Structure 1
Amino acid sequence: MASDIIAWFHENGRTLPWREPGFSAWGTLVSEFMLQQTPVSRVIPHLEAWLERWPTPADLADSPPAEALRAWSSLGYPRRALWLHEAAVQITERHAGVVPDDVDDLLALKGVGDYTARAVAAFAYGKRHPVVDTNTRRVIARAVQGQAEPAPPSRGRDLAAMEALLPESDTDAHDFNAGIMELGALICVAKSPRCGQCPVSARCAWLADGSPAYLGPVKAVQKKYEGSDRQVRGLIMKELRAAHKPVTTAEIETLWPDAVQRTRALDGLLADGLAVASAQGGYTLPHG
């Protein structure tokens, strides 16, 4: 299966910034932070602007967290910007400004989980590690396990399933990691998979079994954005990013009519360190 997917990937893989020769390990780390729960098309312009402004971890570490939050703009889940800033400080202080290539060292950075650590080690440094994301899990579930959808995530089970498929050579392992993700993103999609275009359809266990419906646990559906606390938090964050002086309570009150929900959203931002109370009154982005 690996050789078929690698051949398909070489012919059909998208041209993306983090796949270009010479793309830095720092750029790979930034892209992985940005790609969490955010489509590729939205990430690319933000990534390019970010790396132009902060081409190294030390450059970002020298800037206040508020500037990272402003540059994050509308990408959503702004805690990722704070975590990335803290990770840049840690890289600068602990690793002389060089993104580490060891999975354990990467895991010790703020905001870096198992997927991101392995992705950076594999894609930036060419190390042989199984890298598992949602797309990978879906391809394995269908092609190998004969299930329409993957079971709930399990670090040990998922890594073992990918390790069993991973080629031995570093180069092939790199291409297979990238290729199976790409296959899940473009062909073996969650709804209406394009099985006629799939390079492993002839060996797919799910197709061979007649494409049975998924009967396992159902993933919880995220609540709609409109009217949610996330929307209110976003409105407050937008106001804080635009201001270069404290935003007053009166100004925040104009952003959302429901006082209870507005207070809850603001309290959440304060608890997450995304907003701070100003000594002069009002609220600002964090500066130190």
Structure 2
Amino acid sequence: MLAVADVLSSGEARLRDLPWRASRDPWKILIAEVMLQQTQAMRVIRRWHDWCRWYPTPADLSGVPLGDALRRWQGLGYPRRARDLHGAAAAMVQRHDGQVPDSVEQLQALPGIGPYTARAVMAFAFERDVGVVDTNIARILARTAGTKLTRSTVQSLADALVPDGQGWLWNQTLMDLGATVCRPKPSCEACPTAATCRWHQAGNPMPDPAAGSAGVSTPQAPYEGSDRQARGRTLAELGRGANATARFDRRIVEGLILDGLVVERDGELHLP
């Protein structure tokens, strides 16, 4: 079991200075969390500021064509996130008077918003006492438990560990602990959980219980030469204007059309 007091006392002073942590605006937090899902924090900072300036409310984002959002997302990767954020903004305007809803259930009913993002908004914008399970927290929980965890077990454990009234601080501290200390190659000597971590106390035997545990991400395939690279290049070119369909790899095009990221008209491809 995690030593909650030790984690909080050691981690609060070491929290990374990330700009979205100074905000409690649920829309700004949602933008940050969607961007951070598969992009490193340092790459997100400038783009987060840009998006908060361009689209200060859900209505501002839903009021522009999806193609505009896709152009402004370029460089962050995984453009389906921009599509989902655009769709979520439209749903908030239609269902919630343009406001970000303040319940996990309502958040998860929005396009593209899963359990992690919904709980992150609840903890970091509304300061609710819910457990947030990203890959860093999932790694810590599996190692301290000394075993792989199922999705339901890791979420239940995360919820149970949140100290009353400290949902924001606890989740931020635990995330940073996983991002800086309990990494895939951990620095156990610097970890405040070392004395109670079952994996560490057992001598860090292999296999690492975090490997394959629910919520822990696996290394991505190389980007160079991948479909992700080809999709990104296609969207970047279309961001400069419509182009003949025949110029592009048909298999890549069909995937982009299926994902709602590209439309085809009269032999040409366009952003939506």
**1:207 aligned onto 2:203:** no
Secondary structure, counterpart of 2:91 in structure 1: helix
The letter of the residue matching 2:121 is V
Indicate conservation of the 8 Å contact 1:188/1:195, yes or no: yes
1:90 aligns to 2:83 (yes or no): no
Structure 1: how far apart are the matches of 2:154 and 2:194? 21
Q: Is the CA contact 1:72–1:78 (under 8 Å) kept in the aligned structure 2? A: yes
Q: Secondary structure at 1:283's aligned position in 2?
A: strand
Structure having the higher Rg: 1
Instruction: Confirm whether residue 224 of structure 1 aligns to residue 196 of structure 2.
Output: no
What letter is aligned with 1:264?
A: R
Residue aligned with 1:267, SS: helix
Verify the 8 A CA contact 1:195 1:201 in the aligned structure 2. yes
1:197 to 183, 190, 199: 190
Q: Pairwise CA RMSD of aligned residues? A: 1.7
8 A contact 2:133–2:155 mirrored in 1: yes
Post-superposition CA distance 1:152-197 (Å, at most 9, x none): xx33111112123221x22x23211111111001110012x11122
Q: Is the 8 A contact 2:131 2:160 kept in 1?
A: no
Indicate the residue corresponding to 1:18 in structure 2: 20
CA–CA distance in structure 1, aligned partners of residues 4 and 38 of structure 2: 27
Question: Counterpart of 1:249?
Answer: 245
Stretches of structure 2 lacking an aligned partner (at least 5 in a row): none
Q: For the Cα contact (< 8 Å) 2:264–2:270, is it kept in 1?
A: yes
- Seen in structure 2, the aligned counterparts of structure 1 residues 235 and 98 have a Cα distance that, compared at 3 Å, is same
State the alpha-carbon separation in 1 of the partners of residues 220 and 258 from structure 2: 22
Aligned to 1:80: 81
Structure 2 counterpart of 1:18, one-letter code: W
State whether structure 2 residue 33 is matched by structure 1 residue 32: yes
CA distance in 2 between counterparts of 1:241 and 1:36 reads: 23
Aligned to 1:137: 138
Matched, 1:8 2:1: no
Q: When the two structures are aligned, how many residues end up with a matched partner?
A: 265
**Structure 1 residue 278: Cα displacement:** 2.6
User: Percent of aligned pairs with the same residue?
Assistant: 43
What is the alpha-carbon distance in structure 2 between the residues aligned to residue 211 and residue 107 of structure 1? 37
Residue 172 of structure 2 corresponds to residue 178 of structure 1: yes
- What letter matches 1:128 in structure 2? D
Residue 182 of structure 2 is matched in structure 1 by: 188
Q: What is the identity, as a one-letter code, of the residue corresponding to 1:276?
A: V
Q: Distance in 1 between matches of 2:219 and 2:120?
A: 27
Q: How does 1:265-280 map to 2 (within 5 A)?
A: 265-279=252-266
Matches of 2:106 and 2:81 in 1, distance apart?
19
Structure 1 Cα separation of the partners of residues 201 and 11 of structure 2:
23
1:233 partner letter: R
The answer to whether the 8 A contact 2:84-2:112 is kept is yes
The reply on whether 1:284 has 2:270 as its aligned counterpart is yes
Which amino acid counterpart does residue 193 of structure 2 have in structure 1?
V
Please state how far the C-alpha of 1:239 moved relative to its aligned partner.
0.3
- Where do 1:154-165 residues align within 5 Å? 154-165=150-161
Whether the 8 Å CA contact 1:17–1:23 is kept in 2: the answer is: no
CA contact (8 A) 1:118 1:129 kept: yes
Unaligned 5+ runs, structure 1: 254-261
Matches of 2:32 and 2:154 in 1, distance apart?
Answer: 23
- State the one-letter code of the partner of 1:211: N
1:221 positional shift: 5.3
Report the Cα offset of residue 44 of structure 1.
Answer: 0.9
